[in-house]
C-alpha cells in the first residue's frame, strides 16, 4: 500500500467537459458563487479560494469530468508516487511544461484509473494574493488543506467496484472511511480529515455522480437552494442532512453530473479512524433523490423514517466564526443527552 508520505493529500482541481460555455458561466458564478477568472473561445476557469483555479470547463462537445487533479506534498512525493505506480504496472506519463502552466502547478504526472478516468497528480499549486471575489454574495468555501471538496463516481457492477477499490486504496493509499449497502452500495474514502474526498456508489453505470462543494455559512446554502428552486429542472436532490453530517442539496450541472452544495460536513481523526458500516443509510432526513429509481427512493425514505422513529441525532459541525452560542437551557434535551440518546 502507498505510504502516507506520498499518498494524495487532497482533491486539488477538476476539469469539466461541456457542450458550450454560456450555461456554465451563469451556473458556476450565479448559483454556485464561483469566481470566473479566465475565458477563451473554448475554456472558462473558476476560483473558489486563493488558488488561481479550481474548476476548468472545456467546451469540447462532451459532458462529465475530463480530469481530476490530486495534490501531493512536493516534488519528492510526486517522483516517489510515479515510481510506485510504474513498479505496479500502471502507465504513467510526465506532464509537459505547457500542461503544468495550463493547470497552474509546478509539475504533474498523468495516468488513468481502471475505468478510464484521467488522473493528474501534481504539486505546487499556484496561489494569488488577489482576494476571492465570488460570483454571488456568499461567505466563501471550506477548502484549504481539505481540498476543493469531494467527488463521487457511479460504478456499474461489483467487479468494477472491487477493481476501483483495489486501485485507489491499495495502489494509491486512499483509506476507507465507512460504507453502506442500502438503498445502494456505497464506499467512502479519505486522504485528509475531510470525511471523504472520493466515493463510489454502485448504480449500474460508470460516470461521475457528483462533486461536493462546502460553504462556510449555512445561509449560503439556503439562499443557493432558493436560486435552484427558481430554475425549472435544476434541482436534483432536495435539501437534507447526510449521516456524514453535511446539510446539503444537489443541482444538475450543464454537463450532466451533479454538484452537492452543503454546510457542516464531518471531519475525522485520520490516524485513529476505524472504518465501519453505516447501517442508518445515507441521510438523517430529506434528500429525496430525483435520479434514483422509485423502488430505491422508497428504501431511502423508509430508512429516514426509521431514523426519525429511533430519535437518531447527530451534533451540528461548526468551525470558528460561523456560529455563536445561544443562551438558555432545555431540561428535556439535557436529560436526553446525559443518557446518550442524542448520540445514538
Residue with cell 429525496: 288
Q: How sure is the predictor about 5, in pLDDT bands with cuts at 50, 70 and 90?
A: low
CB 318 within 8 A of CB 326: no
pLDDT in the model for residue 4: 64
Task: Tell me the C-alpha to C-alpha distance, in Å, between residue 6 and each of 17, 84, 144.
Answer: 29, 10, 19
pLDDT at residue 290 greater than cutoff 80:
yes
CB 90 within 8 A of CB 111: yes
Neighbours of 83 (CB within 10 A): 12
Cα dihedral across residues 223, 195, 186, 90: positive or negative: positive
Neighbours of 128 (CB within 10 A): 14
pLDDT in the model for residue 112: 98
Report the distance separating Cα 123 and Cα 141, nearest Å: 21
Angle (CA) 135-140-142 rounded to 5° is 135
Which strands make up the sheet holding 175-180, listed edge to edge?
276-277, 175-180, 186-190, 198-202, 150-155, 207-214, 258-263, 247-252, 235-242, 283-286
pLDDT at residue 341 greater than cutoff 60:
no
The C-alpha R_g of the chain, in whole angstroms, comes to 20
pLDDT in the model for residue 343: 45
Q: Omega into 183 within 30° of 0, i.e. cis?
A: yes
Cα dihedral across residues 273, 239, 153, 184: positive or negative: positive
pLDDT at residue 171 greater than cutoff 70:
yes
Q: How sure is the predictor about 3, in pLDDT bands with cuts at 50, 70 and 90?
A: low
Q: How sure is the predictor about 339, in pLDDT bands with cuts at 50, 70 and 90?
A: low
Average pLDDT, the chain: 94
Half-sphere exposure of 197 (CA within 13 A, CB side): 29
pLDDT at residue 344 greater than cutoff 50:
no
List residues bridging with 150 in a β-sheet. Answer: 212
Three-state secondary structure call for residue 330: coil
Report the distance separating Cα 46 and Cα 60, nearest Å: 17
List residues bridging with 202 in a β-sheet. Answer: 155
Q: How sure is the predictor about 340, in pLDDT bands with cuts at 50, 70 and 90?
A: low
Which of 61-70, 233-242, 315-324 bottoms out in mean pLDDT, i.e. has the lowest? 315-324
Q: How sure is the predictor about 133, in pLDDT bands with cuts at 50, 70 and 90?
A: very high
Q: Choose between 74 and 331: higher pLDDT.
A: 74
pLDDT in the model for residue 1: 63
**The dihedral formed by the CA atoms of 80, 81, 82 and 88, expressed in degrees to the nearest 10:** 110
Average pLDDT score over residue span 38-67: 96
Task: Tell me the C-alpha to C-alpha distance, in Å, between residue 275 and each of 107, 175, 182, 278.
Answer: 33, 9, 17, 10
Average pLDDT score over residue span 274-298: 94
Amino acid at each position: 500500500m502507498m505510504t502516507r508520505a506520498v499518498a494524495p493529500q487532497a482533491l486539488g482541481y477538476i476539469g469539466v467537459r461541456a457542450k458550450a460555455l454560456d450555461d456554465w458561466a451563469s451556473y458556476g458564478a450565479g448559483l454556485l458563487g464561483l469566481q470566473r477568472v479566465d475565458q477563451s473561445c473554448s475554456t472558462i476557469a473558476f476560483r473558489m479560494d486563493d488558488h488561481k483555479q479550481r474548476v476548468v470547463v472545456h467546451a469540447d462537445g462532451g459532458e462529465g469530468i475530463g480530469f481530476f487533479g490530486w495534490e501531493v506534498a512536493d516534488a519528492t512525493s510526486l517522483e516517489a508516487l510515479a515510481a510506485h505506480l510504474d513498479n505496479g504496472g500502471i502507465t504513467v506519463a510526465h506532464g509537459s511544461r505547457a500542461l503544468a502552466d495550463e493547470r497552474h502547478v509546478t509539475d504533474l504526472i498523468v495516468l488513468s484509473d481502471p475505468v478510464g478516468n484521467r488522473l493528474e497528480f501534481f504539486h505546487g499549486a499556484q496561489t494569488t494574493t488577489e482576494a476571492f471575489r465570488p460570483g454571488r454574495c456568499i461567505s466563501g468555501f471550506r477548502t484549504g488543506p481539505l481540498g476543493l471538496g469531494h467527488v463521487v463516481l457511479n460504478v456499474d457492477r461489483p467487479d468494477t467496484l472491487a477493481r476501483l477499490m483495489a486501485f485507489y486504496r491499495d495502489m494509491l493509499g486512499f483509506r476507507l472511511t465507512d460504507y453502506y449497502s442500502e438503498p445502494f452500495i456505497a464506499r467512502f474514502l479519505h486522504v485528509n480529515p475531510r470525511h471523504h474526498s472520493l466515493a463510489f456508489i454502485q448504480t449500474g453505470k460508470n460516470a461521475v455522480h457528483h462533486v461536493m462543494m462546502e460553504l462556510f455559512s449555512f445561509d449560503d446554502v439556503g439562499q443557493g437552494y432558493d436560486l435552484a428552486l427558481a430554475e425549472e429542472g435544476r434541482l436534483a436532490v432536495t435539501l437534507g442532512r447526510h449521516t456524514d453530517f453535511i446539510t446539503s442539496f444537489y443541482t444538475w450541472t450543464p454537463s450532466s453530473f451533479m454538484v452537492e452544495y452543503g454546510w457542516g460536513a464531518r471531519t475525522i481523526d485520520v490516524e485513529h479512524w476505524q472504518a465501519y458500516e453505516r447501517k442508518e443509510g445515507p441521510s438523517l432526513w430529506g434528500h429525496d433523490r430525483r435520479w434514483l429509481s422509485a423502488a430505491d427512493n422508497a428504501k431511502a425514505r423508509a430508512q429516514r423514517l426509521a431514523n426519525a422513529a429511533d430519535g437518531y441525532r447527530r451534533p451540528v459541525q461548526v468551525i470558528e466564526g460561523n456560529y455563536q452560542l445561544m443562551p438558555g437551557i432545555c431540561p428535556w434535551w439535557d436529560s436526553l443527552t446525559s443518557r446518550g440518546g442524542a448520540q445514538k
